[in-house]
Chain A
Amino acid sequence: MHERENFSNILLEALKETEKLKLLIKIITEEVISGTRRSRYKGSSQEFSEYRAYYPGDEPRYIDWKVFGRTDRLFVKTFEEETKARVTIWVDTSRSMFLNNSRIKFAYALIVATVLSIIASRIGELVKLTMFPKNPVKTINSNPGEAIEFFEEHLKTQLEGKIPWKQLTHHLIKSTEGKRSLFVLISDFSPSYRQLAQGELENIYRVFPLLRQYQRGSKLVAVQVLDKEELFIPQEDILLVEPEDAKKLKIDSSRITTIHQKFMERIKGLQKWAVRHSSIFITTTTDEHPGTVVRRIISTI
């Protein structure tokens, strides 16, 4: 029902009262929940699922030697997981999530994370909801209400600092404890001005190949949340401000169109890069209905 409207307006209205937001989350959750509740996440269960090519590091006991005899190529068996899978949702709390004196970007990201947590826990997944660079962790196990609590608890958390992308990658890998997991990173994937000079952009790009390299069975879904107004800058003379380092840049209105094109090119580039490394990259803006985003996330799993 809200998809046809600009969700930003609804969210802005709802941000005034937490109860409204909670109600909104429930509505979105109900809208999203549909179809199979069965996890399609590939794990090491006993129910055979499919073959895939052998990579060094795979356990040799899963190699199907019969197939090797027929084809001279090594394949390993994969199985439907019967046990609970590990879903880790990370939400960006850096300063860049607080734009133009509005928390809408962060609220949006948190709603997506909460809805996704609720749905995942309902279908029996083990959900770990966390934030970064602040790092409160909430493990939700079959109790969707805990996700709402987490949401309520951290909705007004102070948005500050920057994401140390290099450490984050290590953290992600470490947090799986060797088990295959689903990571959902909800962020704007934007380094600050100083981080750019320090090579953090490259570290953002490295998240995808590194995760693939060290956690082959895991999957990363990157959800890039952008405020609609930061992507679509108004057609006027703008003093563009980088939120984390407060760096400023004067832009004439005549250059806005070109700049928007550059934004889109870079976002598409990042998306292609993620896909190339077997990850999912979803870009959304705050005017898009969060339910749609969650559906897209689920559909990719």
Chain B
Amino acid sequence: MKFLHPAALTGLLFIVFPVLIHFLSKKKYRPWESSLFYIIHRDLKRHIRLQNIKNMLSLILKILSITFLTIGAASPTVGDANLKTIFVDTSPSMELVKEKLSEVLNKENEKFAFIDAISNQPFKDAQKLSKRPLLRTDLLKIPEGSLLIGDGRYPEEIARVINSKKIKVVLLHNLKEGSNFVLEKVQISPPVAYLTKALEVTLQINNEAIQNKASPTPATCSVSLTLGGRKVLLTALSLKPGKNTVKVRIEAPEKLRKLQNNLSYLEITLSGDEYSYDNNLVIPVPVAKKIKIFSNTPLLKQLVNSSPYFEAVNSTEESDINLVEAESPYPWSITFLKSGKKYHTVEGKFLPGVAPELRVLKNSLKKVPYPESKHGKFKNLIEKIKGKTLAVKKSASPKEKVPLVKEADNFYMMGFPFQPPFSENPEAVAMTHILVEKLFAKKALQNVIMAEAGEELSLKGLPLSNIMKEPMTNETFPILYDENTILFVPSTGVLIARTTVGENVIFANYNKKELIPVNNSLKYFSQKKVNPSKNLSIEFIMAGVILAFLSLIFF
């Protein structure tokens, strides 16, 4: 409990008065001897004891009354939002930051103390922050309830450590004077790059070099975009002070056909800046070489038409067909491509039972009547598929049996994240659809890990339930940094997914059915961890008045 007006606590000195009155107002009794003492002492002793208790209660009530009234006057506050200390870089380049901060503080209507933390070497300081032990030690020294404003490069770590100390964190950029452009965010549209379509790249660049709002001067910088190791664009940009959103266009990246897999990387680099550490971003770009599917089943047709990963072909005679799914007795074939060239084709016919099972799989995922556990229907279906073999015709040898699903090849299935009743959970249904797509678009996705709800799993020796408590780094959770991995950890109440569509990690609160991109995860943490403050003045004053009333009425 904290007090907004601690000076009012001096009112506790008033407790002296009822105590003094209590002792000074005691009656003076005249001594009187009587041998008849024995007749009355038993009755009176009880009476006197009661009287003493009543007097003491009266005194206690008065003391409590004054105590409560005084505490009420001192505005007692509980909660974490009673922030007292802010660390701010007050260098001239932080003018906008300070303005923004003032707005925030005015809204929150709290009293703050400002402490200057001027740094001449923000970059080096930021590097220090990256050393976790040092950071942790430093943060532990910060008083509880502090508001820390610093560099935004390491939001996750700072957020975690500080939230454990109940410190609200607002991360703003810590920069010094000079031209400085910060490449904050990059988005591509569409999220999957198509070989035949132009790729629109949206850059969010913060120009912090000139922060004088009175005389804004645009600055010029150049931006280069490299896709798959090939420079695809170099252009100059004019940036006004503050945040700028710039869109650049990369024409149809035909040359991506030469890439070995379906994932490429887009590197964006700004130049013309004195501080280059925040001028570079690399994002993964899934390259959608759509899987060509021939299907005559309505379900798959619908799936293919609504998916960015599939492309329907009208005839099995067309080239580059990846998957043929049809009612028996239609034959099917899967063609594997390497660098845009066909290197392996699997052909066959659905053996009795396999096609219906595949269909049942899709239908069951779509209609979602669902499994009770990881050993449930879904798992069984996968197992069944694994066990089946297809007749494969290869050019070299006439016939060879090949497993339909190779566990090591494309995905791992470890159960299912949602609890029944499945159909009542729209989030689960939506997720399932996504999964189905991912499963079929396995060329853009390597691993899928699904954890049973409530199940304690470990990943590389670290329990997944602790995933939020531990700093998540490339070393501790490399699998999370594998762009082709989806990880569901419902047992922690949090879904962590790494998708191929731009944002790296998605934190999702399973219970709240909300997905929060990593850039906003800090906000999520803050909202969740920092309790709102509550002023208890009225409660204390009411209690004080009631106690005073009681002491007057009953005694």
* A/B interface sample: 8 pairs, CB < 8 A: A190-B35, A190-B36, A196-B41, A239-B32, A240-B32, A250-B27, A262-B39, A262-B43
Which residues of A74-115 are within 8 A (CB) of B? 96, 99-100
A177 CA to B421 CA, complexed, in Å: 107
Residues of B within 8 Å of A255, CB to CB, are 44, 47
Which residues of A208-242 are within 8 A (CB) of B? 226-227, 229-231, 233-234, 236-242
Find the residue from B28, B32, B35, B37 having the highest chain A CB count within 10 A. B35
**B23 in contact (CB, < 8 A):** no
**B343 in contact (CB, < 8 A):** no
Instruction: Choose one: B34, B38, B43, B48; the contact of A233 (CB below 8 Å).
Output: B34
Chain B contributes a number of interface residues (CB within 8 A of A) equal to 20
B34 touches A193 (CB 8 A): no
A195 CA to B40 CA, complexed, in Å: 15
Residues of B within 8 Å of A191, CB to CB, are 38
B27 touches A247 (CB 8 A): no
**A243 in contact (CB, < 8 A):** yes
Residues of B within 8 Å of A226, CB to CB, are 35-36
Residues of A within 8 Å of B41, CB to CB, are 193, 196, 242, 247, 249
Shortest distance in angstroms between B55's beta carbon and chain A's nearest beta carbon?
12
Which residues of B40-72 are within 8 A (CB) of A? 40-41, 43-45, 47-48
A249-B27 contact given A234-B32, A238-B32, A239-B32, CB 8 Å threshold:
no
A241 touches B31 (CB 8 A): yes
A236 CA to B38 CA, complexed, in Å: 20
B36 touches A263 (CB 8 A): yes
A196 CA to B30 CA, complexed, in Å: 24
**B554 in contact (CB, < 8 A):** no
B32 touches A243 (CB 8 A): no
Residues of A within 8 Å of B32, CB to CB, are 100, 229-230, 233-234, 238-241
Residues of A within 8 Å of B47, CB to CB, are 255
Shortest distance in angstroms between A80's beta carbon and chain B's nearest beta carbon?
40
A153 CA to B210 CA, complexed, in Å: 120
A237 touches B33 (CB 8 A): no
Residues of A within 8 Å of B30, CB to CB, are 234, 236-239
**A297 in contact (CB, < 8 A):** no
Residues of A within 8 Å of B36, CB to CB, are 188, 190, 226, 230-231, 263, 266
A242 CA to B39 CA, complexed, in Å: 11
A251-B29 contact given A193-B41, A201-B38, A266-B39, CB 8 Å threshold:
yes
Residues of B within 8 Å of A266, CB to CB, are 36, 39
A242-B37 contact given A234-B32, A249-B45, A250-B29, CB 8 Å threshold:
yes
Residues of A within 8 Å of B44, CB to CB, are 249, 251, 255, 259
Residues of A within 8 Å of B37, CB to CB, are 190, 193, 240-243, 247, 249
- Sort A-B residue pairs by CB-CB distance and give the 10 closest, nearest first: A239-B29, A190-B35, A242-B37, A230-B34, A96-B35, A188-B35, A238-B32, A99-B33, A239-B31, A241-B33
Find the residue from A190, A191, A193 having the highest chain B CB count within 10 A. A190
With both beta carbons as reference points, the residue of chain B lying nearest to A263 in the complex is identified as B36
**A252 in contact (CB, < 8 A):** yes
With both beta carbons as reference points, the residue of chain B lying nearest to A188 in the complex is identified as B35
A193 CA to B41 CA, complexed, in Å: 9
Shortest distance in angstroms between A97's beta carbon and chain B's nearest beta carbon?
8
A229 CA to B37 CA, complexed, in Å: 13
**A192 in contact (CB, < 8 A):** yes
Encode contact with B along A144-165: 1 for CB under 8 Å, 0 otherwise. 0000000000000000000000
Which residues of A121-172 are within 8 A (CB) of B? none
Shortest distance in angstroms between A255's beta carbon and chain B's nearest beta carbon?
8
**Additional 15 contacts, C-beta under 8 A, given A239-B30, A251-B44, A259-B44:** A190-B36, A196-B38, A226-B35, A230-B35, A233-B34, A238-B29, A238-B30, A240-B33, A242-B33, A242-B37, A242-B41, A243-B37, A251-B40, A255-B44, A263-B39
Residues of B within 8 Å of A192, CB to CB, are 38
With both beta carbons as reference points, the residue of chain A lying nearest to B42 in the complex is identified as A196
A193-B38 contact given A249-B44, A251-B44, CB 8 Å threshold:
yes
A4 CA to B33 CA, complexed, in Å: 27
A237 CA to B28 CA, complexed, in Å: 7
Find the residue from B27, B40, B47 having the highest chain A CB count within 10 A. B40
A243 touches B39 (CB 8 A): no
A231 CA to B40 CA, complexed, in Å: 12
Residues of B within 8 Å of A195, CB to CB, are 38
Shortest distance in angstroms between B552's beta carbon and chain A's nearest beta carbon?
21
A233 CA to B29 CA, complexed, in Å: 13
Shortest distance in angstroms between A241's beta carbon and chain B's nearest beta carbon?
5
Instruction: Choose one: B34, B39, B40, B43; the contact of A241 (CB below 8 Å).
Output: B34
Which residues of B76-135 are within 8 A (CB) of A? none
A240 touches B38 (CB 8 A): no
Shortest distance in angstroms between B50's beta carbon and chain A's nearest beta carbon?
13
Residues of A within 8 Å of B29, CB to CB, are 237-239, 250-251
Shortest distance in angstroms between B210's beta carbon and chain A's nearest beta carbon?
86
With both beta carbons as reference points, the residue of chain A lying nearest to B43 in the complex is identified as A262
A192 CA to B38 CA, complexed, in Å: 7
Shortest distance in angstroms between A285's beta carbon and chain B's nearest beta carbon?
12
A231 CA to B37 CA, complexed, in Å: 10
B27 touches A252 (CB 8 A): yes
Shortest distance in angstroms between A79's beta carbon and chain B's nearest beta carbon?
41
A262 touches B40 (CB 8 A): yes
Residues of A within 8 Å of B31, CB to CB, are 238-239, 241, 248
Residues of B within 8 Å of A96, CB to CB, are 35
A249-B40 contact given A99-B33, A236-B30, A238-B30, CB 8 Å threshold:
yes
B38 touches A249 (CB 8 A): no
Residues of B within 8 Å of A230, CB to CB, are 32-36
